[in-house]
Amino acid sequence: MASFRYTFQRVVDLKGSEKTQAEWMLSSAVGVLTAEELSLEQLRVKQQEWEFKLIDAAKIAVPLSELQVIQQYLDYLVACITNKMKDVLHAQKAVEQSRLNLSDKMKDEKVWLKAKDHARDRFQYAMQIKEQNELDEMASVRFMIPTP
């Protein structure tokens, strides 16, 4: 019996590779998002620490210039947090775009795999018909031969 060979197997393999690559891209984007969120959280913790330092410094006798330096650093941290929030939003958009891309690649691969399955089914059906015809012919030849 002949074996099934799909003529578009390279396309199926390509679609599988594209899906794998899209999975890697999504994984990478999620990693970047996680790193950005961690960095944002660290900045917020640092901001809280410096706010407590400012409050403590205001409670005790500290020169005004030192209070201004602490406040300037807090302003700098707020600006860093604002920028980091933009980075997080950008990373979230990249993750969403990667998810959509992966979804598209998965659909493409599924379409080609389904086409391959249909081609295999047609091949198997044709082989069954051929085998049945051969069996029918063998039976008719035996029937035609007289028995001694």
The CA-atom distances, in angstroms, between 57 and each of 44, 49, 68 are 20, 12, 11
- Sequential DSSP letters for 83-94: HHHHHHHHHHHH
**What's the pLDDT at 7?**
92
> How many domains does the chain contain in total?
1
Give the pLDDT confidence of 32-65 residue by residue, as tens digits: 999 999 999 999 999 999 999 999 888 888 888 8
Q: Considering the domain boundaries, does residue 103 fall inside one?
A: yes
Question: Within 13 Å, how many C-alpha atoms sit on residue 92's CB side?
Answer: 7
**CATH number of the domain where residue 24 is located:** 1.10.287.1700
Give the pLDDT confidence of 95-144 residue by residue, as tens digits: 999 999 999 999 999 999 999 999 999 999 999 999 999 888 887 777 67
Q: Considering the domain boundaries, does residue 3 fall inside one?
A: no
How far from the centroid of its chain's Cα atoms is residue 40's Cα?
A: 24
Q: Considering the domain boundaries, does residue 90 fall inside one?
A: yes
Domain interval for residue 27: 9-109
